[in-house]
Amino acid sequence: MAGITLALMAAARPILMRVSGADRPGITAGLMEVLSASEADVHDVEQMVIRGRLTLDVVFSVPEGPSSVKDLLFFGWEQGLDVDFDSIEETPRRHRRGMVVVTIIAPRIGPAAFGAIAEAVAESGGNIDRIERLSRYPVVSYELTVVGGDLDEIRTRLGKAASEQSVDVAVQERSLERRTKRLVVVDVDSTLIQDEVINLLAEEAGVLDEVEKITMSAMEGAMDFGDSLTHRVALLKDLDIEGIERVVERVTLTPGARTFVRTLKRAGMRTAMISGGFTIVADAIGADLGVDHVVANELEIVEGRVTGQLTGRIVDRGRKAEIVGELAEAEGIPLDQVVAIGDGANDIDMLAVAGLGIAFNAKPVVREVADTAVNVPYLDAILFMLGVHREDVEDADDPEPVQIEGLPPV
């Protein structure tokens, strides 16, 4: 082997050295010390560790003269590592503009699902350049960097494969904007929380059946959101403040909601809740989670009782989109650096105006128009769509500020 590698090095072409074995501190430093002693030029380095096993690739060249191969092989022998060499051709630099990032999320991702995703990429003319695991808990997620292929075709084929394999797949252009999201806006009912607040209020007021009938009428298109909300609020007349307080206590956060908001805030991102519900409940949730902005409908309350009226503009589908723009402008954040998350038709315009619109356990009409969809029951799984690693999520509990790679500094 030494004779072969000596010949490779004498050819003055770039050499790929692959080092593999049990990982331990000092391996990379030791190899670079040997290469430095040989006056080698290092052209490329990539390293990964999977379950304690190291794979380190180094592309380098050496000037004419004595070779360092024996020293490299001896270093590998000392460390119990396998060291292999190969001569390679210089390849043109790939333009990141032509790359896309594919994120796969599911409770379990087996070889059939992985194979189907890889096949869809290949059939689209793309090639997987890199695969990185983002999480094993509460869901399994991977990030694939894909080079080449038509973006629309990749999305179409991956969407079909994802549906057949029951996994969530997001396809995003690899760009600076993707890794620099700065404002995350989330719907409340059935998104940030598991409940529909107006149903809880109606139950306290003893008018749940009537409210649900109006809700169904609106869902069937017989009544628009504004009219249906006005009629439902009228039925809440005379509900006392104590009943509202009981509703606040009954609200159930979506699994992962607290972790989701905490991680975003520790990464220095701004957060907002935009709700078609009511401020008297949404404000309490926002204060508990530490959300920066809360916007919802205002129930009129006089002498401790609901009057059956709303004050101010109704937060409907169009208004939600306007609020996203207003919040972004107030924060000095471009819309392409905004993420919006929702589940219902009332959220469609909000998802469309944001740089990234995510349908979370959403109705089919919302999934069809959103940039991507997440169908697992954990809100913090959305973090993986943003390229956040599970380790970053766990570090969000650390008392010191966390700098997540690729996101703005705190």
| Residues carrying an active site annotation | 187, 189
Distance, in Å, from the CA atom of 129 to the CA atom of 148, rounded to the nearest integer, reads 10
Nearest Cα to Cα of residue 53 among 81, 17, 85: 81
* Residue bearing tokens 């006089």: 302
Contact (CB, 8 A) for 295 and 273: yes
Distance, in Å, from the CA atom of 200 to the CA atom of 210, rounded to the nearest integer, reads 13
Cα distances from 25 to residues 29, 72, 79, 200, in angstroms, run 8, 17, 11, 56
Cα distances from 91 to residues 48, 59, 105, in angstroms, run 22, 12, 32
